Structure 1
Amino acid sequence: MLVLIQTGGYSGTGLNAVLEHSAAPKGSMYFHFPDGKEGLGVAAVDLAAKQFATLIADAAASAGGAAHAARLAIEALTRIVSESDYRLGCPVSVVTLEMGAESESLRQACATAFESWIAPTTALLEGSGIDAQSARTLATVVVSTIEGAVILSRAMRSTQPLVAAADVVAELIDLRCQLAESTR
């Protein structure tokens, strides 16, 4: 369902398409997801959250600091978006925009997903010497910027918004790290 949401949106993804895509019997789907499409949507958002959290963790593990980690994560997203011919984006933002006001369980799943990206980014920034409150604020801005850049890249059919986001986010993190260092 994740790919179907990424390409067709939550509202545009019908249960028949999910069943066809998964080749699962209808009864099996309702056994595992008694809430139907809403339950599938929550599971898809959870999966997307885990995938992006892994991307963040991999970038942090292989990077030379928080700014470089952010750049690596954004570069990975840039490849995903461009290699899919701008069809794949963030299913969490799609579900949030389409269903956040309609379904409390989907809204909560999306909020939890975003938090699962903000929290490790906050920890990475704190590890770079930024105080907890500033790190949390900056992490929220970083995740928001990345989400917006993915949406713009898809709309414009260009990687330019993601490339610009990588440059600005890395610069902002470097500046905040330098500021934190100078105040110690």
Structure 2
Amino acid sequence: MDTKALMIENATKLFQQHGYKAVGLNDILKACNITKGALYHHFPNGKEELLIACLQSMNEAITTDIVEIFQQNPSTLTAVQRMIEKLIAQFEREGTVTGYTFSSIVNEMGALSESVRVACSSLFSKMQDIYRGKLAADGFTEEKANAIALMMTASIEGGIMLCTTQKSSEPLKVILQVLPAILKEF
């Protein structure tokens, strides 16, 4: 793995675990075993530029995973069920859902940095587009597909945050149980 990729991978973990503001440059340098000069060589604008690279990397990983799950399942309902089951299994195995949520970064930095807000918005939009496309393929109207995709994104992101704060996978399990009824109501 090259130095830039290593920095992105390690910084992503640090930002997800501790938050952007709590992670100092020295923490990143230590985790990556690099010099300050190496960091600024790859990210001339510093820590915020590195954060945006981390968000873009998460964007690719998350959307690739979601697309794969949605392509392997015949309906939106089964695809979302498989995705949530995967999140529950990760939470129960690791005590967290890393790599799938970035809400804490949005809450912490979205209002302070337009470029970070845009990077986060892009990821949410891509997630919703995947959901919307599958819902449309299932026969939902564009209006209903948009509404359900928004609800799914908010529910899953919120569920992940609740799992973290409650130290329990129960919030995602509840979403998994309630989702079929919600999809049928639409």
TM-score (norm 1): 0.88
Instruction: Name the CA shift for 1:53/1:89 in 2 (closer, same or farther; >3 Å).
Output: closer
For residue 143 of structure 2, what is the aligned residue in structure 1? 133
For residue 179 of structure 2, what is the aligned residue in structure 1? 169
Q: Secondary structure at the match of 1:64?
A: coil
- The question of whether the paired residues in 2 share the 8 Å contact of 1:6 and 1:90 is answered with no
Q: Secondary structure at the match of 1:16?
A: helix
Unmatched tracts of structure 2, length 5 or more: 1-10
**Structure-to-structure mapping, 1:44-123, within 5 angstroms:** 44-86=54-96, 88=98, 90-123=100-133
- The question of whether the paired residues in 1 share the 8 Å contact of 2:97 and 2:160 is answered with no
For residue 179 of structure 1, what is the aligned residue in structure 2? none
Aligned-residue CA RMSD (Å): 1.7
Shift in Å, 1:57: 0.9
**Structure-to-structure mapping, 1:8-23, within 5 angstroms:** 8-23=18-33
Bigger relative contact order, structure 1 or 2, given CA contacts below 8 A and separation 6+? 1
Shift in Å, 1:89: 6.7
Aligned residues: 176
Instruction: Name the CA shift for 1:92/1:160 in 2 (closer, same or farther; >3 Å).
Output: same
**Seq. identity, %:** 28
Deviation digits for residues 115-166 of structure 1 (CA, Å, limit 9, x no counterpart): 1101111111101001112101110110100000001111111100011112
Instruction: Name the CA shift for 1:30/1:91 in 2 (closer, same or farther; >3 Å).
Output: farther
TM-score (norm 2): 0.87
Q: Secondary structure at the match of 1:161?
A: helix
Which amino acid counterpart does residue 142 of structure 2 have in structure 1?
A: A
Unmatched tracts of structure 1, length 5 or more: 177-184
In the alignment, the residues of structure 2 paired with residue 61 and residue 146 of structure 1 have an alpha-carbon distance, to the nearest angstrom, of 19
Shift in Å, 1:79: 2.3
Deviation digits for residues 49-83 of structure 1 (CA, Å, limit 9, x no counterpart): 22221221121122131101011111122222232
